[in-house]
Amino acid sequence: MQLLTLQTGALAMCVVLAGCGGTPPHEGEFWDPHEEQNRSTHEFNKKLDRVFVTAIKPIVLPEPVFDGLANASRNLGLPSKAVNSVLQGRAEPAVENSLRFVINSTIGIGGVFDPAGAVFGLHETDTDFGETLYVWGWSEGAYVVLPVVGASTERDAIGWLVDFVLDPVNVAFEGQDAVAVTGVRIAGKIANRKRFGDTVDSVLHESADSYAQTRLLYLQSRRYQLSGREENDADAYDPYEDPYAE
C-alpha cells in the first residue's frame, strides 16, 4: 500500500512538472524562468551543505575506507541503471550493470570491492530515468533546483522522482534491511563529499555567483553526457575542461 501511494504521488508530480512546459531553449542556451525560486532553493541547499560538512568533519578514516563506502553505495544503484538501460533499448550496458551488481555484491563483499571491473572487465554505465525520457524524446524543459538534490531540469526532476520511487533495491528491501541500505547510501554520500570537497567548495562556496556557475556546469555536463551517449560525438563540448569541474 505504501509503495502504491508513492507511485501515485510520483505520477502526480510528473503531471505537474509536465504542465510547466514552455518554449525550450535554442541549442547551447539555457531556460531558467524560475530563477527567483531556484536561487532561493540554491541558497537553502548551500546552508544545508555547510551543516552537513560541519557534521561529518570529525569523521576521519583512511582513504581506502572512503573508497569502499563510495563503491558500496554506487553498487546499490546498479539495478536501477540496468532497468533504465533496458527501457532505453541498450542491451549491452543493461547486461554489464547487472553482472557487475551480482559479482560485486557477492565476491566484492557488498560492493566494497570491484572485482567485476578489475578482474572481469565489466564497467559501469551511469544512466537514469532522466536519460530514459531523453531517449524517448522528452524535451529538457526549464532549469530547476530541487531541495537537497540540487541542480536539475524539469525532465531530470521527473526522472529523479521515478528512480527514487521505483528503484528495484528500494522495492526489494523492507524493515531493517531497508535501514541498512539507506545507511550504506548515506555513508557513500559522506565519502564522496569528503573525497571531492575541494571541487564542491570551489563551485558552491567560493564562486562569485555560485548559482550561475552551478547552472552552467550542470547543463553543460548533462547535455554532453546525453549527446555523447546518443551520438558518440567526439567534437562535443567537454565540461570537464572547465577548471571548476576537474
What's residue 111's pLDDT? 97
**Whether the predicted model's global pTM rises above the 0.85 cut:** no
pLDDT along the chain (246 residues), means of 10: 43 48 59 98 98 94 94 97 97 98 97 97 97 97 97 98 94 93 96 93 95 97 87 43 39
Consecutive H or E run containing 159: helix 154-166
What's residue 81's pLDDT? 98
Judge whether 226 and 127 are in contact, CB under 8 Å: no
Using the Cα atoms of residue 135, residue 141, residue 185 and residue 214 in order, give the sign of their dihedral. positive
Cα–Cα distances in angstroms (integers) from residue 57 to residues 48, 52, 164, 197, in the given order: 14, 9, 28, 11
What's residue 24's pLDDT? 57
What's residue 28's pLDDT? 61
Q: Which three cell numbers stand for residue 244?
A: 571548476
Return the number of other C-beta atoms located less than 10 Å from residue 203's C-beta.
Answer: 17
What's residue 228's pLDDT? 79
